[in-house]
């Protein structure tokens, strides 16, 4: 009933990931861009240039580059938002069949409402988060693919609510009037808690009853679902939050440098303003007769104040307006270099390296710590059943290289399965009870889906490679899993088809680290089968298993020493009364509306006790190609590698030796495994600081962060065992917090996502565990060995190129700006520009494009593979935390370059004065010869001798008033202009020569004032 549900104002199913529309784009985008300090600063400069009293530059010299920068950014933002709009429209306009007033009607996804009943057909996407009501498959089952949600490509099964599973007809569904009470919208993909109230009864709803938006219906003809969450409330959209923006050390350094440069600009403006005040007081006041100040200016202090702002405008080029845009362009180029690198392309899986962000390339060259997952990252995550321990007997003989042929014994065997110990097969053939029960556990205790494409051709769809390997092993040894329904599991045991009643599934999670099923055999026997980590399962065994447990533990340690992944298997027989009592408590916990997860965990804990040990399995996960060599080379670059794994300690240590993290020269390996704060602190303090250490992560280490970090960082190798996904992220955060070092996390599974997001740089390995790690990463490729080239080649080059570009960029700006600063000392600090504004753009283009072209041509030649092979010693690794831009030699180079630019100018000017003096210089020299000591007029003449202002004006022959005071506070009055215009402009040199000739016979005291005016007119 849409009318009834609309009063609750549920969210619309229309999604909007875009940021702008046609009306809001311009104001919102400009507002966002002016959040940048640099853009706000140049807007402030533009406002200053509109004030004629202080501006000697045209306003377009600032507005053109500012508009260009804003336009480029706006175009980029608009392009990105256009594609977001396009994607939103494609999704919102998809069609769904909605049951409205008893009939199915096609509706766009954006028009779907909470409470609607939707019909889904095979291979259709789910439009919203649905409660599965009924399905065309038997027992209300349907199959979905969740690749868009969690990256896993294996099919998953969902089951409709039992009471509604028969409502498969639109007419029956139209009369459905149930009420659903559930948890608020959240981002937990594997959890849902709710209750269905219908016909005065209530029914518990779980995640197994839900079809989430983004899933695809597979191998199911049709199903019906009730919309629970729509649009932004769906779990897909709840998990689509924006990833935290990661800033690099270069970004922080640039912001710091820009602030220092701005301070330097203010200092230059103050120096020149003080110079203007001194000049106006000592010399400029003598110009008032024909160069009066503007009406607002009444003293030299106000003139200096205006001069300060004028120089802020003129010297603004020292603060680079195009710096951030240029840096982003360079980063984009570096990202393409990574994407195009053929040496990081995996031909086996047809996967190339991908830079999923453009802002972290140079940060790759500063990595100090690498945090790596083990399974699927260092190893291949292709599991094979290699060894097992059954009733105290170990199987799996590597000395026998002849592969067993299972076909004569079992026509349903997988031909790709490899095993090399025939004694286990003989034990199965003779009917050993413990061996049969061992493989029966493997064929029943799992969540694998089976698909039989033809008679005897089985394809298993497992949520993890471990489960797939174990079920395949049971299949080859005669216990074949065939199919499952919500209430049954069908197997073929030694050629006989057996159907078990599935009474309960006790799910696996990272906290429990085990999974159990309770089944009833055809004979009526109720038995619980359990498999899980040995650390949690062995402590739940019956005391009578002590001797067998000791033998099995020794076998587990042997398997772990070979680098194998281990699991323990156990069972427990239940009486009918025990089952009924526990079933009732489990049913109450399952129907609970509050603390449901805790109550279920308590119920599971109650039944999983006093079990009987069957044995253990050992699965091999081989190292990926090139892992030992990559770790060795990264270690040479002083990069510390930490392995964070959920495996047991022995397995992790063995993998450490296999991948060369641990070597034979590490004579001391320390294990920190206490369970109390005091014991862990004592173990940490007893560690011998030899530099060759290993730490085992303990749950208590979170209470002593400082001691853990200081000890671990002193180790040459660190392996954290038995860690949860949350603990992986916590370890990364500890190093970021205490060491202030650049961190990189690399993983391949959903359990690595939190670690990848926590690190400064996240790298995803596209492997067997889906693409969720790739979607959360900044860089992705298919094999761990490519990390070497990403860091030591692309990271190194990107960092050095960026630093050199920044040095050159700042040098270019300083060289251009210091010309105007130096020119201020020769124009009476009048805030005049040394170069015509037309040269400004030309100089920038020549400096930027010409030098960049030359630079990259040389860089590509120097970094070619041929030269690397000829001169390998010339290509040292940068190492970690070597900030090239902060080296003192950079600032020494800037100082020397400034001095080198100034000294030739000074030398040339002094040499020109001596060899070929100007007429004004001759007059000044003669006047100096006439001066007497202590005379007031002579003192004034001395102060005026440093002026170059009017000389500069007449040399350009543009009229001294208009050129000197263009946009400045000192302008000729209209009376002065009329007076000078009435004079004959071609006779001033003759007049000057006549006055000079007259002065050779006139005492200085009689013509002082005349000489002052004449000298000022020339100089």
Every domain of the chain and the residues it spans: 1-92, 113-238, 337-379+627-793, 384-620, 917-1018
Query: Does 722 count as an annotated binding residue?
Result: yes
Query: Does 371 count as an annotated binding residue?
Result: no
Whether pLDDT at 357 is above 50: yes
Q: What is the pLDDT of residue 571?
A: 95
The mean pLDDT of 810-826, rounded to a whole number, is 85
Token duo for residue 122: 């095979």
**H or E segment and range at residue 133:** strand 129-135
Query: Does 467 count as an annotated binding residue?
Result: yes
294 an active-site residue?
A: no
Residue 255 to residue 324: CA distance in whole angstroms? 10
Token duo for residue 609: 């006790």
Tens digit of pLDDT for each residue in 458-498?
Answer: 888 777 778 889 999 999 999 999 988 878 999 999 889 99
Whether pLDDT at 283 is above 60: yes
The mean pLDDT of 308-321, rounded to a whole number, is 82
Tens digit of pLDDT for each residue in 178-194?
Answer: 899 988 998 777 788 88
Q: How is 136-158 classified by DSSP, letter by letter? A: SSGGGEEEEE-HHHHS--SEEEE
The CATH number given to 113-238 is 2.70.150.10
Residue whose structure tokens are 């640039």: 254
pLDDT band at residue 767, thresholds of 50, 70 and 90?
A: low
Query: Does 146 count as an annotated binding residue?
Result: no
Query: Does 125 count as an annotated binding residue?
Result: no
Query: Does 375 count as an annotated binding residue?
Result: yes
Domain 384-620 classification at class level = alpha beta
Token duo for residue 561: 């020493």
Of the two residues 748 and 543, the one the predictor is more confident about is: 543
Q: What is the mean pLDDT of the chain?
A: 77
Name the 3-class secondary structure at 1016.
helix
Of the two residues 299 and 608, the one the predictor is more confident about is: 608
The mean pLDDT of 801-815, rounded to a whole number, is 82
Of the two residues 575 and 894, the one the predictor is more confident about is: 575
Query: Does 647 count as an annotated binding residue?
Result: yes
Tens digit of pLDDT for each residue in 648-695?
Answer: 676 677 778 778 787 766 655 555 655 555 555 555 544 433 333 344
Q: What is the pLDDT of residue 768?
A: 62
Query: Does 562 count as an annotated binding residue?
Result: no
Helix intervals (H) in 608-758: 627-636, 649-658, 677-685, 705-713, 725-739, 753-758
Q: What is the pLDDT of residue 746?
A: 92
Q: What is the pLDDT of residue 531?
A: 94
Lowest mean pLDDT, pick from 632-641, 828-837, 946-955: 946-955
Tens digit of pLDDT for each residue in 109-137?
Answer: 999 999 999 999 998 999 999 999 999 88
Q: What CA–CA distances, in Å, run from 496 to 446, 447, 527, 594, 912?
A: 20, 22, 20, 45, 112
Q: What is the pLDDT of residue 951?
A: 38
Query: Does 728 count as an annotated binding residue?
Result: yes
Residue 982 to residue 769: CA distance in whole angstroms? 92
Q: What is the pLDDT of residue 992?
A: 45
Rounded percentage of the chain residues whose pLDDT exceeds 70: 76
In the CATH hierarchy, which fold is given to the domain comprising 337-379+627-793?
Answer: Rossmann fold (3.40.50)
Q: Which of 373, 421, 621, 778 is catalytic?
A: 373
Residues ≥6 apart with Cβ < 8 Å to 491? 440, 443, 444, 479, 480, 481, 482, 497, 498, 499, 500
Residues ≥6 apart with Cβ < 8 Å to 966? 56, 832
Q: What is the pLDDT of residue 697?
A: 47
What residues are paired with 718 via a beta bridge? Answer: 642
Whether pLDDT at 381 is above 80: no
Rounded percentage of the chain residues whose pLDDT exceeds 90: 18
DSSP E strands, 583-628: 612-620
pLDDT band at residue 400, thresholds of 50, 70 and 90?
A: low
pLDDT band at residue 581, thresholds of 50, 70 and 90?
A: very high
* Cα–Cα nearest to 651, from 387, 462, 446, 370: 387
Of the two residues 214 and 676, the one the predictor is more confident about is: 214
Whether pLDDT at 47 is above 50: yes
């Amino acid at each position: 009933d849409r009318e009834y549900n609309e009063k609750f104002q549920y969210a619309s199913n229309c999604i909007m990931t875009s940021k702008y529309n046609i009306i809001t784009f311009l104001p919102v985008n400009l507002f966002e861009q002016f959040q940048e300090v640099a853009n706000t600063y140049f807007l402030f400069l533009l406002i200053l240039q509109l004030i004629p009293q202080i501006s000697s530059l045209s306003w377009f010299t600032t507005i053109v580059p500012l508009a260009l920068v804003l336009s480029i950014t706006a175009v980029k933002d608009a392009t990105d938002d256009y594609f977001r709009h396009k994607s939103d429209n494609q999704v919102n306009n998809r069609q769904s069949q909605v049951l409205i007033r008893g009939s199915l009607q096609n509706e766009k996804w954006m028009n779907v409402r909470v409470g609607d009943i939707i019909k889904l057909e095979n291979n259709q996407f789910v439009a919203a988060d649905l409660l599965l009501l009924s399905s065309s498959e038997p027992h209300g089952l349907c199959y979905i693919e969740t690749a868009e949600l969690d990256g896993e490509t294996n099919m998953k099964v969902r089951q409709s609510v039992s009471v509604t599973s028969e409502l498969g007809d639109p007419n029956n569904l139209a009369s459905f009037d149930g009420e659903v009470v559930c948890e608020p919208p959240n981002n937990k993909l594997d959890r849902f808690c709710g209750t269905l109230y219908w016909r005065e009864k209530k029914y518990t709803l779980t995640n197994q009853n839900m079809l989430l938006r983004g899933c695809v219906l597979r191998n199911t003809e049709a199903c019906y679902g009730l919309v629970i969450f729509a649009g932004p409330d769906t779990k897909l959209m709840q998990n689509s939050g924006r990833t935290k923006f990661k800033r690099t050390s270069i970004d922080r350094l640039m912001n710091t440098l820009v602030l220092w440069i701005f301070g330097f600009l203010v200092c230059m403006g103050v120096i020149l303003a003080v110079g203007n005040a001194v000049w106006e007081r000592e010399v400029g006041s003598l110009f008032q007769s024909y160069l009066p100040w503007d009406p607002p200016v009444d003293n030299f202090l106000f003139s200096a104040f205006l001069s300060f702002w004028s120089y802020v405008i003129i010297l603004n080029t020292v603060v680079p307006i195009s710096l951030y845009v240029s840096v982003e362009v360079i980063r984009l180029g570096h990202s393409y270099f990574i994407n195009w690198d053929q040496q990081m392309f995996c031909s086996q899986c047809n996967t190339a390296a991908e830079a999923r962000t453009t802002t972290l390339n140079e940060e790759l060259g500063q990595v100090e710590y690498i945090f790596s997952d083990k399974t699927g990252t260092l190893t291949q995550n292709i599991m094979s059943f290699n060894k097992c321990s059954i009733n105290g007997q170990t199987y799996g003989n590597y000395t026998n290289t002849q592969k067993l042929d299972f076909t004569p014994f079992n026509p349903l065997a997988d031909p790709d399965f490899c095993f090399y110990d025939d004694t286990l097969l003989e034990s199965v053939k003779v009917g050993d009870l413990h061996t049969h029960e061992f493989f029966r556990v493997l064929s029943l205790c799992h969540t694998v889906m089976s698909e039989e494409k033809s008679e005897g051709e089985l394809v298993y769809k497992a949520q993890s490679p471990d489960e797939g390997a174990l079920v395949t092993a049971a299949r080859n040894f005669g216990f074949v899993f065939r199919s499952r329904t919500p209430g049954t599991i069908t197997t073929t045991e030694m050629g006989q088809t057996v159907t078990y009643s599935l009474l309960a599934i006790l799910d696996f999670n990272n906290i429990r680290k085990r999974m159990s099923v309770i089944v009833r055999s055809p004979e009526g026997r109720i038995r619980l089968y359990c498999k899980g980590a040995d650390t949690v399962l062995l402590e739940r065994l019956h005391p009578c298993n002590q001797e067998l447990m000791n033998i099995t533990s020794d076998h587990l340690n042997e398997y772990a020493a070979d680098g194998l992944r281990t699991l323990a298997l156990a069972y427990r027989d239940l009486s009918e009364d025990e089952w009924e009592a526990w079933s009732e408590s489990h049913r109450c916990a399952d129907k609970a509306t509050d603390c449901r997860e805790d109550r279920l965990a308590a119920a599971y804990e109650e039944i999983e006790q006093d079990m009987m040990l069957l044995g253990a399995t050992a699965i091999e996960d081989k190292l990926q190609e090139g892992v030992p060599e990559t770790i060795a080379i990264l270690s040479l670059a002083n990069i510390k590698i930490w392995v964070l794994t959920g495996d047991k300690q022995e397995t992790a240590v063995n993998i450490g030796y296999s991948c060369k993290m641990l070597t034979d020269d590490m004579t001391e390996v320390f294990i920190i495994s206490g369970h109390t704060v005091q014991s862990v602190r004592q173990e940490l303090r007893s560690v011998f600081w030899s530099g060759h250490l290993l730490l085992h992560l303990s749950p208590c280490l979170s209470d002593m962060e400082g001691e853990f970090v200081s000890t671990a960082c002193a180790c040459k190798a660190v392996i954290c065992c038995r860690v949860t996904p949350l603990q992986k992220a916590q370890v990364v955060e500890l190093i970021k917090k205490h060491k202030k070092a650049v961190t990189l996390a690399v993983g391949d599974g959903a359990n690595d996502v939190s670690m990848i997001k926590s690190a400064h740089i996240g790298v995803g390995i596209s492997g067997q565990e889906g693409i969720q790690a790739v979607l959360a990463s900044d860089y992705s490729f298919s094999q761990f060995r490519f990390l070497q080239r990403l860091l030591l080649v692309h990271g190194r080059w990107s960092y050095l190129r960026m630093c050199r570009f920044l040095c050159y960029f700042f040098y270019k700006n300083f060289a251009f700006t210091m010309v105007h600063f130096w020119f201020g000392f020769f124009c009476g600090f009048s805030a005049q520009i040394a170069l015509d504004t037309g040269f400004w753009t030309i100089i920038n283009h020549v400096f930027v494009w010409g030098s960049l072209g030359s630079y990259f041509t040389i860089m590509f030649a120097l970094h070619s593979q041929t030269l690397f092979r000829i001169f390998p010693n010339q290509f040292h690794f940068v190492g970690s935390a070597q900030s090239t831009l902060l080296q003192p030699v950079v600032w020494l180079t800037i100082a020397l370059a400034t001095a080198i630019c100034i000294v030739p100018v000074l030398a040339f000017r002094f040499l020109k004065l001596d060899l070929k003096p100007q007429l004004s210089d001759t007059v000044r020299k003669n006047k100096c010869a006439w001066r007497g000591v202590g005379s007031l007029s002579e003192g004034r003449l001395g102060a005026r001798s440093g002026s170059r202002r009017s000389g500069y004006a007449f040399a350009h022959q543009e009229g001294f008033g208009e050129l000197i005071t263009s946009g400045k506070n000192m302008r000729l009055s209209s009376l002065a202009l009329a007076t000078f215009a009435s004079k004959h402009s071609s006779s001033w040199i003759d007049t000057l020569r006549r006055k000079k000739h007259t002065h050779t016979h006139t005492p200085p005291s009689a013509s002082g004032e005349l000489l002052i005016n004449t000298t000022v007119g020339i100089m």
